[in-house]
Every structure is written in C-alpha cells, then in structure tokens.
Structure 1
Amino acid sequence: MPNERLRDAMHRNRLTPTDLAAVVGVDPKTVERWITQDRVPYPRHRHTLAARLGETQSYLWPDALPAARAAEVTESELIQIYSRRGSIPIELWRRLLTTATQQISILVYAGLFLPEQHPNLITILRERAEAGARVRILLGDPDSPEVAQRGAEEGIGNAISAKIRNVLTWYEKLDGVDGVSLGLHGTTLYNSIYQFDEEMLVNPHVFGFPAAHAPTLHLRRIAGGDLFNLYADSFDRIWSASRPTRQDREAS
C-alpha cells in the first residue's frame, strides 16, 4: 500500500519526487516506489530524508527500525537531566536564547524567572525575530480555573495569576514585532516547555512544588527519535487551542 505519511510530508514541504531524489542522490523513480509501493529507503538515506522532511524515521517508516534500536535513538535525544530547574546554568539559557535562528517556543504559566534572570530578554527576542526566527510565547490565562487550581495546590493563592499579569507587562514590549506571537492558554500544565531550534528544555511539574524545584530534561532532536517531537507536538496542540493576549486582539 502507498506510504501516505511520506507523501503528506513531501506535500507539506512542497517537494516533488525529483526534489527528494536530488537530496539523497537517487533516481526520481526510486522515490516514486518509496511512495506508491511503500518501499523502505536504505538506512543512510532515511536519516537524511527524515531530517529534510522534519519528521522522525519511526513516523515515516514505522517498521524500518527494530523496537530496541528505536528506543536507543530516542534515549540519545536526552543530553542531561537537571535535578531542579533552578540548577540549570544561566550560560545555557543565554546560549539557547541568543543562538536560535528558526524558532523559540515557550510554554509556561508565568515563567517570571526568564525576564528576571535576563534583563535584556525582550531585546534578545526582538533581535531573534528580526533575524527570521519565529517566536511564540504561551502564558497561562490568569483568569482560568487551571491557573487558580495550580496556585491552590502550591499553597500560594492567587500569586500565579499576579505573576502572569506582571510578566505580561514585559512581553507587551514586543507588541507589533513581526515574527513574535503571544498567547494565553487555559490547560492543565503538566510540563513547561522551552524550545530553541533543535534543542529543548522540558520542566515536568510535581504536585505541590514550584516548577523551579522540579527536574528538567535537556533534549536535542535526532532523526529517528520520538522524545523531542512528543513535547514539540504537545506545544503545538496547546498553541492551536490558545487565544491571543488582550493587546494582540486590540491591535487586530
């Protein structure tokens, strides 16, 4: 049967069989067989193709990698585990923020520590956007029951809502900057996510504890791995269900 996943990935990337054939140096008819007959490319080609199409090998060719090998690849995406978010070196945050060229995606309730640790955060985000990066920032809706519940669980009342309103005053300075989008979400936040191109920091939340006291995973995307894309897809789902901030609505 046809490989509809490969066909769809090519369509989304506006690539023809001839284009994809040129990427790995094969005949376009070979690419056609990959699509119409679900032939599996050689391993040396699969890595390059998955990277070019922005998908994992396990998604495009589910049966190509043995389960044990697929697990090894996914585990390789984990660079380091920090016992607390607060123990992440500030130099790492600075490198990730200042070197991103394609995208910066931030999912938090408040994330007030970012502008507090980086007084020039707004300047950095503006410069990244002006250089062509897509900047998306998702904050919790301060009036949502989910944010109120989180404050109750941590025993701090309405403090999180107040932090969100505080941090909004920082990000409002980016209003009108091309490439920057700011939204509010009302989801149960299981993880805070910070993506910088092909690297990501994932901060799982622990019941009753502030996010700064919970562990954080440092991930780097590898073609064939699933862990990075799992969290990237989670961000995209929440983004699609979010609403723009007040100032964005007024500007539209």
Structure 2
Amino acid sequence: MNDNLRHALINARLQAADVAARLAVDPKTVNRWLKGRLPYPRHRWAVADLLHVDEADLWPETAQQQRLILDEVQAVYPHRWAVPQSVWRRLFEEAQREIDVLAYSGLFLIEDAGILNLMAERARSGVRVRVLLGDPDCSEVATRGHDETIGPDVMAARIRNSLTLCSTLDGIDQAEIRLHRTTLYNSIYRADDHLLINTHAYGTPAAHAPVIDLRGTESEGAADVYLSSFERVWIGAKPYQRGF
C-alpha cells in the first residue's frame, strides 16, 4: 500500500477516479498505484503537480534514485568537440588501474600525440590499457560510415590511421589493441571508475553527438552498464597484429 499517496488524495479531497480523469489513465491504473506499484516518471510528476506536493513525498524511493544519478553524472556536454582537451588529458592522467577505449576509429583522440604518449606512459607504469577499434574491413564500420554521411571508405581510412598511430603502444606488456565487429551505440573512454560516454546518433558524426561524464559510484548504476558493455565487446574482439 502507498499510504503517502492515499493520504495526499484525502487531503486534496480527490478520488482515484478524479486522478484518472485528470491524467487520462484508467482508474484501475491509479488503484494499482495506491496498492504500491511505482508509476512511470511522467505520471509521478503529473500526480505530484496535481496534489501540489513533491514527488519524493509520494514515492520516497525516487529520492534515492535521483541522488544516485546526481552522484554518477558529473557533466553532460552537448557535443564531443565541446569537451575541453584538458578533460581528456586529466581522465587518463588519473588512471591507476585501467584505461579503456572503445570506438570505431577514436582518431580525434589517438592523433593527439600528447594523450597517446600519456597512455603509453601509464601502461609502462603498470596501468592496463585496452584499445578497441572497429575492424576496417567489417560491414559494421561501413554502415557507420554511411550513418555519419562520410562514406564507408573514409571511416575505414580513419581506423587505419589510428592503428598506425597506435604503434606508440607496441611492445608494452600492459597495452593491447583489438579489433571489433560490433554495432556501437556509443563510444566509451574509461579510466578506472571515470567514464566519458560519446553517444551515437543516426546521421550525426560522433564529434557532434553528446558526451556524458560519469563516475561509477554504485554497482548496477549507469557506469556499470557501460563497463559491462565494454567487456562484452572486448571478449568478442580479435587481437590486432601489425603487418597482418
């Protein structure tokens, strides 16, 4: 039973049918909320506005969810190009255990010699560095090239450029490059529990798509979802051997 919602309705002198009419939902739906079912966010907000109370007053569990989100999300950048270069550099400088990169080409980052050298230095100091790039010969890369309206040949060429530049990591035990054939919905740039997630949008180059800055604070949080995604791609990818 949701006694908070029930008491709020009594104080407002409203019945379940009144709420149903205002929100254009079935009265049975409101009764299920009264019995303890958590409504969709849009309905929670509408009910809170109708009763002139805070959402957390009716559903206290949502306050904890909001705190977790606020703890995890450090920033949201409207475009990847809007992320200051200092943020990328600081991300990898702070790594103590792991650096992970999952992208199709990641050329914007890899062509920065300072950052690539930094990744090599961290690997030599014992930080595990894993770089996952798209297989330039796979259909998924060609499709992404079409999606970004640059064409498959350009996307494949960018990947090959990145692979050439990544020779900086050659011979370092803690650094490994693999090629994947995965359809990516986002690119992942990770240093320990800190992630920058570059979302992908159809018809939009990755540089123009948003970036979410996440700090992993809880198991089963948003950051954990992306970390698990990286691991699944890594397992299915093939090690890159230069010259083959």
TM-score normalised to structure 2 length: 0.71
Distance in 2, matches of 1:224 and 1:120, equals: 33
2:208 counterpart of 1:177:
no
Distance in 2, matches of 1:77 and 1:122, equals: 27
Distance in 1, matches of 2:120 and 2:149, equals: 35
Contact between 1:74 and 1:224, CA under 8 Å: does it hold in 2?
no
Question: Which residue of structure 2 aligns with residue 122 of structure 1?
Answer: 116
Distance in 2, matches of 1:140 and 1:71, equals: 35
2:237 counterpart of 1:242:
yes
2:186 counterpart of 1:216:
no
2:129 counterpart of 1:135:
yes
Question: Which residue of structure 2 aligns with residue 15 of structure 1?
Answer: none
Distance in 2, matches of 1:224 and 1:164, equals: 33
Distance in 1, matches of 2:181 and 2:68, equals: 34
Contact between 1:153 and 1:208, CA under 8 Å: does it hold in 2?
yes
2:139 counterpart of 1:145:
yes
Structure 1 residue 190, shift from structure 2 partner: 0.4
Question: What is the correspondence of 1:36-185 to structure 2 with a 5 Å cutoff?
Answer: 66=61, 68-116=63-111, 118-157=112-151, 158-185=153-180
2:191 counterpart of 1:196:
yes
Distance in 1, matches of 2:66 and 2:220, equals: 8
TM-score normalised to structure 1 length: 0.69
Distance in 1, matches of 2:221 and 2:66, equals: 9
User: What letter corresponds to residue 145 of structure 1 in structure 2?
Assistant: S
Identity rate, percent: 42
Structure 1 residue 246, shift from structure 2 partner: 2.4
Distance in 2, matches of 1:224 and 1:233, equals: 11
Distance in 1, matches of 2:88 and 2:232, equals: 25
Distance in 1, matches of 2:134 and 2:146, equals: 15
Distance in 1, matches of 2:164 and 2:219, equals: 40
Aligned residues: 184
RMSD after superposition: 1.9
Distance in 1, matches of 2:128 and 2:183, equals: 25
Distance in 2, matches of 1:120 and 1:104, equals: 15
- Tell me, which stretches of 5 or more residues in structure 1 are unaligned? 1-64
Distance in 2, matches of 1:121 and 1:177, equals: 16
User: What letter corresponds to residue 140 of structure 2 in structure 1?
Assistant: E
Distance in 2, matches of 1:138 and 1:99, equals: 20
Contact between 1:96 and 1:196, CA under 8 Å: does it hold in 2?
yes
Structure 1 residue 152, shift from structure 2 partner: 1.4
Q: Render the CA deviation track for 1:155-186: whole Å, top value 9, x for unaligned.
A: 22210000000110011231220100100000
Change in Cα spacing, 1:152 to 1:198, as seen in structure 2 (3 Å) is same
Structure 1 residue 225, shift from structure 2 partner: 5.6
What SS is found at the alignment partner of 2:136? Answer: coil
Distance in 2, matches of 1:89 and 1:172, equals: 26
Distance in 2, matches of 1:111 and 1:226, equals: 25
What SS is found at the alignment partner of 1:206? Answer: coil
Distance in 2, matches of 1:189 and 1:78, equals: 21
